[in-house]
Structure formats: C-alpha cells, structure tokens
Structure 1
Amino acid sequence: MSESSGGGLTGYIQHHLTHNQAVHGAPADPSNFNWDSWAVALALGLLFVLWFGRAARKATAGVPSKGQAFVELIVEFVDGQVRDTFHGDRRTVTPLAITIFMWIVFMNTMDLIPLDLPGMLVTLVSGEEAAHHSYFRMVPTADLNTTLGISASVFLILIGHAWSAKGGMGFGKELLTAPFHAHGFGAIVLAPVNLVMNIIEWLVKPISLAMRLFGNMYGGELVFMLIAGLMAGWVTFLPGVIANAAWGIFHILIILLQAFIFMILTVVYIAGAREGH
C-alpha cells in the first residue's frame, strides 16, 4: 500500500479509490490481491447464507412471521422471474438466481455506507496518522476483480448447462456448425468461422455481465466521493447532506436494478445454453 500522492479533492478521491492490498510475487512482477473486496464479499455471502438458512429452518406452514414473509416474498419474486424466462427444470436455476440477486444486492448496498466510516473507525482505534495510511473500499462490486470473478463462475455454469443438455459431442458439433449451417464441403469451410463466432459469443456474455455491474457501481461510488470531497466543511455541510441523501435515494434504484439485470441475464443465458441454434 502506498500513500495518496495528491492533496485536496484529487488526494481525497485517490485515497478512497485505493484498495487494501496484499502484494505477492517477485518485485519485478508483483501480483496484488484486494483484501477489502474479498473480505466484504465473503462476509456478505455468509450473511446471506445464514439469513436464508435460518429462515428456512424456522419456516412454518401456518401464519408466517414478518421475517419469513419477507424471505418468501423474495423467493417468490425470483422464482416468478425464472419461471417466465426459463422453461426447464428450475430446481437448480432458481436457487442460483436467488443467490446471485441477494449477494449482489448486499454488495451493492455497501455503497450507501459513509465513505469515511472506515477511516473514522481506524482513527478511533489507532489515531489519525494510521487512518491516513489505511485504505479500505467497502463496495466489492466497484472492484472489477469481483465482478469478473462472479461472471467467470456464471460462465462455467453456462458451459455445464450446455454440456448437460447437449452432451459433449452435441455441444462440440454446435460450436462448429452454428450459426452458419451448411452441408458437405461448405460445412468444412465454415467450421472455423462458426467456431470463432461461437467463442466470441460465449466470451462476450461474462465480460458484458462483469463490465455492466462494475461500471455502474464504480460510477455511483465516484459520485459519492465527488459530493463528499466538494462539499467538505461546515459551510457546505448541509448542502452536502442533502446532495448525498438525494443521490443515495436514487442510487437505491441502481443497486436493485443492477442486481436484477445480472440475475435475469444469467437465467436468459442458461436458457440459451440449453437450447440449440
């Protein structure tokens, strides 16, 4: 980790855009690992599992509690979206969709936590100097590594669904014969073109998922930084609170919408992977 080199607004933004990293490998070719994104994502994932697991264990057939009713509302909403999009066996697809939706909502929601809260906690424990040299980004989905990791997992799941539905030979044949179907010598000539087109199509899916989520959350986080940096001080304190509150309310829509888009596109891609061209 290194101290932000700039001052003022630039230094403030650079400080808050710096990850808490562990550096591995040789000095000439270091490999950085963002501990903050990993730790927050893991903690929120475990929180989701504990919450829904506890709700499932305590579920009753009678009049549900408010907590059970809320969880059931989420499950029914997601299952309804899967049912409308995916017309096969939903027993594995719906749990995947719920996990993706809730985990991303949890990670996106960290954008609503005050930017300077980690620094304030470090200041209380270790003093102002330690806080100045400490970095911690609270929004895992504003880290491209996180969104690419989730998208890579989705990509492997898509391959698994395609392989399960079509078999190894069927999947391989589709890669070589679609989208430009031909017969005889034409099929041989077009096979490399079909393969390249299919590889591009398959790779675009996880990349687009990752970039869309990352771009929206990174941009939202940057707006919070700009508001906090530009309106720091007693004179602009009240306008800053109003601006942050207004952007936060609007950002709630982005938080939910981006999680929904990631979830529904995953289900759409699964449905497409199981179908033939």
Structure 2
Amino acid sequence: MTTEHAGGHAAPANATEYIQHHLSHLQTHDGSFNLDTFWISAVLGLVFLGVFALAARRATPGVPGKLQNFVEWVMELVNDTVNSAFHAKSKVIAPLAITIFVWVWLMNAMDFLPVDLLPRVLEFFGVYKLRVVPTADVNHTFGMSFGVLLCIIGFSIKAKGAGGWTKELFTAPFHAHGTVATIILAPVNFIFQMLELFAKPISLSLRLFGNMYAGELIFILIALLPWWAQWLLGGPWAIFHILIVTLQAFVFMALTVVYLSLAVEKH
C-alpha cells in the first residue's frame, strides 16, 4: 500500500491550515484506508500484550514488583466490574473486558503526546500527515463497536441457541398469548429488537469518538497559542483529560460487559 506524501510539502500558513493538517489522516493512495489509525492501534495492542505477558512471566507469590502490582490493580478493577454486571458463567468475559479497557486507554492516552511530536519525527521519513489518536477516528470506534455487536449476537446464540435467539427477536419485548396475537406483534417486536441491537454499538462508538475528537481538537487549538499560554492552559487541560481518557475507556468496557450480560439473559 502506498501512502500520501509529497516532496514539496509546505508548512501550514495559518491557523486554519494548521488545524486541517493535524486532522488529516495518513491514508492509502486512493484514500480508502487510514494507515495511521491502523498501525498506531496495532502497535499499542502489541504493547498491551507484551506488558501483560511480561508481568505474568515475572509474577511471584511473594512480594510483588511494581509492574505486577499495577497489572493486578487493573485486573481487580475490571473483575469487580465484571462480577457486578455479568452474572452468567463465561471464561471469555473477563479477558475481553481487560483487553478492551487497557487497549482503549492506551489509544486514548496518545492524546497526551505533544501535538507536533510524532508528525515532526515522521517528516524525516517523508510522511507529512499523521493523527496519533486512533479513538478520534470514527472508523476505528465503529469498528470496535461492530466487534461488540458480533459478541452480543454470539453470546446470545450460545446462551439461548439459534432457535431461542430467533424466537426472542419476534416475541420480545411485547409478549403475546395465542398464535394470532404473536403473529400480529412479531413485526413490531422485530423492529424494536433491531433498534435496540444496533443502538448499542452506535452509542458506544459515537460516545468514545465524540469525547476523544473534542479532546484532540482542544490540544490542537492550545498548540496554536504562544508558548506561555500553552503551558498555562495545556497543563490543567492535560490533567483534566487524564480523567476523560480513563473514564471513556472504563465506560466502553463497562457498557460492553452490561450489553453482553443482557444478551445472555432470557426475556
């Protein structure tokens, strides 16, 4: 795949061009694929796997090290959420929740890097466009939420069987007594079930995207200010953004667990 680049690249001439430049993706030649979103999210996923694998390899029953303490704290936080929201038995739900929380947090935390740092570094390699926050790309958040949608359907079918899940699509939420009433209400039930099913991933993706896009844009606007104003405003905003980054990762994970819990319940 070829990337967008130009040997005669010129620095943004004004604030509008600066903002547009930093909101432009590194894409394939035909513009159909955001390479920066893909590679940054993939690298951060490998970082997550590497750190947790290292912690597991170094884990000891005695006095734990700092890395083991941190990993155990994350796992306890996620396990508490899973135990309080997911009441069925599953060997997948806890690892899935931990993966979602840490991976989304790492992608959100890319917002803490100076706005021009990675783009300036990659300019030495002929790359002049880069967005470093994958979760500020709506394509990526929709992709993750589509994965959650597939999990919802898969958990439902595993818990209720294909026949039971299909039956539920046409008989809930409005239950009817008698064949005629069931047939009459079936289209209404199906419409409501589809609305509920697709509203979940859409709300997941847009909530995460909206918050991270807004945060990214504010950092870009702060970067346009004089250096003293950047320190004056950037520091407090970065501290506040730590809460947003963590909260959005937690919300995405917690809602996923709740949706999967609802998926295995029989209505």
TM range (shorter): over 0.9
- CA change 1:4–1:164 in 2 (3 A) is farther
4+ aligned runs moved over 3 Å, structure 1 = 1-7
Q: Secondary structure at the match of 1:23?
A: coil
Distance in 1 (CA, whole Å) between partners of 2:146 and 2:255 is 14
Name the counterpart of 2:166.
172
Name the counterpart of 1:28.
none
Name the counterpart of 1:149.
143
TM-superposed deviation, 1:120: 2.4
TM-superposed deviation, 1:118: 2.2
Name the counterpart of 1:36.
36
Amino acid at match of 1:51: V
Cα shift readout 1:47-90 (whole Å, capped 9, x = no counterpart):
00011011112211111111111111111111011101111224
Name the counterpart of 2:105.
105
TM-score, normalised with respect to structure 1: 0.90
Name the counterpart of 1:163.
157
Name the counterpart of 1:188.
183
- CA change 1:66–1:178 in 2 (3 A) is same
Distance in 2 (CA, whole Å) between partners of 1:246 and 1:5 is 29
Name the counterpart of 1:272.
262
Gaps of 5+ in 1: 25-30
Name the counterpart of 1:11.
17
Name the counterpart of 2:51.
51
Name the counterpart of 1:91.
91
TM-superposed deviation, 1:211: 0.4
TM-superposed deviation, 1:119: 3.1
TM-superposed deviation, 1:194: 0.7
Gaps of 5+ in 2: none
Are the counterparts in 2 of residues 175 and 194 from structure 1 also a CA contact under 8 Å?
Answer: yes
- CA change 1:20–1:181 in 2 (3 A) is same
Match of 2:244 among 254, 264, 272: 254
TM-score, normalised with respect to structure 2: 0.93
Q: Compute the RMSD of aligned alpha carbons.
A: 1.7
Cα shift readout 1:147-181 (whole Å, capped 9, x = no counterpart):
11111111101111000000011000000000111
Cα shift readout 1:188-241 (whole Å, capped 9, x = no counterpart):
011011111101110001111000000000000000111112x1xxxx211211
Distance in 2 (CA, whole Å) between partners of 1:168 and 1:193 is 20
Distance in 1 (CA, whole Å) between partners of 2:164 and 2:122 is 57
Distance in 1 (CA, whole Å) between partners of 2:54 and 2:147 is 26
- CA change 1:122–1:156 in 2 (3 A) is closer
Equivalent pairs: percent with the same residue? Answer: 48
